[in-house]
Chains A and B, each alone.
Chain A
Amino acid sequence: MLSVDALHVTYGGAVQALRGISLEIPDGKVVAVLGSNGAGKSTLLRTLSGTLRLHRGRIDSGSVRYGDVSLGGRDAAQTVRMGLVQVPEGRRIFGRLTVEENLRAGGMGNRDKAAKARARDRVYEMFPVLKERAGQRGLLLSGGEQQMLAIGRALMASPKLLLLDEPSLGLAPRIIGQIGEVIAEINRQGTSVLLVEQNATMALGVADLAYVLDVGEVSLSGSAAELARTDEVQRLYLGHDSDEPAAAEPLPGTRKTLSRWTA
């Protein structure tokens, strides 16, 4: 179980990105974190994955614990070796490396050769297209394929907890639906997932629990199903007027994001 308690994070000693958030990711669950642009979602993931320092960010107070280990002072490489692996926002695949080399890079934190071979088989089974494209450079893949590669690459480290930063970003509804299924499948195979999203429909569809982040604070939390019924989530994330009947359920996978913030 991962637990975050009263976490405050600032960038450059000035910008307060997280103002005392607390949340929990129980083992074996999918937890969604919703929030609009600038809510602090990526900051939360950077804190967990140990890359905050690369952005001149700092934990001011509060704690992050994984099991009974504090993640506070750990760097990215140590976190990966503990089983926490992040898929970064915007996919960030290595465009000049081949698909296979991308997967190899993903397995670098994993010393166990046999585990790596198993992970590769699992990735190729889950994403057959990656096997077909194994020798191609990453930048030649489509956006959806790149997202599959980004997820596959993270799976190469055999994560216990997978951190996903907006995997639906910029993808077509059909692909977003597939990503939702992939996340559910990864979870079924025993990996906990922290899913950061603006696409509430997909996220609440696969998550067990959910939190809503608002300018660095948790404004709502609960089971995903409950949260999907609240007025605020309906209105802000699922695109309903609060007095409209919930019958106007959006098509699965459509991207309904927060209109307040989207440009």
Chain B
Amino acid sequence: MTQFLSLLLNGISLGAMYALIALGFVIIFKASEVVSFTQGSLLLLGAYSIARLSEPIGFYPAVLVGILLTALAAFLIERLVINRLRGAPVISLAIVTIGVDIILLTELIRRIGSDILNVPHPWGSESVRIGEVGISQNRLIATGVAGVLIIVFFAAFKYSSWGVAMRASAEDGETAALMGIRLGRVSALAWIVAGALAAVAALFLVGAPTPGVSAAAYTVALRAFPAAILGGLDSTGGALVGGLLIGLAESFAAGYQDQLLFLGRGFGDVVPYVVMIAVLLVRPSGLFGTKELTRV
């Protein structure tokens, strides 16, 4: 039972990080009609910037600058590449984002090399115990921060002018333009938010129990992608549910590895994709999606 609760808690925490990244995918898709594969390298950029800047300027300023830099990078990708290809087929745009991702990723990996950069989280790598259940402080703080961000995000999406503009343009871009909504601005803002969310997720994903920033942080974003797809690529609520589902599945698969040995070692690594495929077989447009991916 204790193990179950512990895996549950860790799964939720991991899932909250995935949800942040998946929300980025979803709002980019809604605002720019692009399936963006840049989230992985953006995440790594965030982690790398925070790690590198922590020493010279201190941890909290580094976090701030790291988030801003990542948001700026996302903004530049949108302005310099995506916006200029407006109207191109969705599939070409997706491949363009893979190209951008590889370029950014290659440069970051060259800089990181084979090192593991340390991020000096002030909360360190201690664990806390809640009753019988143990969780790293980092994961606990991550869950709190992600929870707050997710609530703020959903409130903004529902009530703010940004949210209304965003949903209107996602539903019918031409008509939104006729209302005076600037589609380019809506799209740029979505990328900025997605970049910032990826950087926040990065901040916690490279903390305990993960040893630090290495090129492997990139693969985390690859697990957030199935989260976005199984929730429904155009559904923000789906991104949240999908993220949690993937986080929980991964946590349980890893925790009960011994009982799951018949599925092969390392099942925890592939479980996000297994869950995604299972969901899509039953619901091709994802749990809450309205657009089928086959039509993308």
Contacts and interface: CB of A to CB of B under 8 A. Distances in A.
B171 to A, nearest CB: 5
Nearest to A76: B177
Interface in B167-196: 167-168, 171-182
A76 B178 contact: yes
B164 A101 contact: yes
Contacts of A54: 173-174, 177
Most B Cβ at <10 Å: residue of A85, A108, A154: A108
A77 B178 CA distance: 7
B171 A77 contact: no
A54 B176 CA distance: 12
A94 B171 contact: yes
B177 A108 contact: no
B180 A81 contact: yes
Contact of A101 (B167, B172, B178): B167
A108 B167 contact: no
- Secondary structure class of chain B's binding surface, majority of residues: helix
B179 A109 contact: yes
A94 B180 CA distance: 15
A77 B180 contact: yes
Contact of A108 (B172, B173, B174, B179): B179
Contacts of B168: 94, 97, 101-102, 105, 108
A94 B174 contact: no
Nearest to A55: B174
B182 A77 contact: yes
A77 B167 contact: no
Interface string A74-101: 0111001100011010001011110001
Contact of B181 (A49, A85, A105): A105
Given A94-B168, A94-B171, A96-B171, A105 B179 contact: yes
Given A97-B167, A104-B161, A104-B164, A92 B172 contact: yes
Interface in B230-258: none
Given A97-B168, A108-B165, A88 B175 contact: yes
B27 to A, nearest CB: 15
Given A80-B178, A94-B175, 18 more contacts: A49-B178, A54-B174, A75-B177, A77-B180, A77-B181, A80-B179, A85-B178, A86-B178, A101-B168, A104-B161, A105-B168, A108-B164, A108-B168, A108-B180, A108-B181, A153-B179, A156-B179, A157-B180
Interface of A: 49, 51, 54, 75-77, 80-81, 85-86, 88, 92, 94-97, 101-102, 104-110, 153-154, 156-157
29 contacts: A49-B178, A51-B174, A51-B177, A51-B178, A54-B173, A54-B177, A75-B177, A76-B180, A77-B177, A80-B180, A81-B180, A86-B178, A88-B174, A88-B178, A92-B175, A94-B171, A94-B175, A96-B171, A97-B167, A97-B168, A105-B164, A105-B176, A107-B179, A108-B161, A108-B164, A108-B179, A154-B178, A156-B179, A157-B180
Which 9 residue pairs spanning A and B have beta carbons closest together? A109-B180, A80-B180, A76-B177, A105-B168, A92-B175, A77-B182, A108-B181, A94-B171, A104-B164
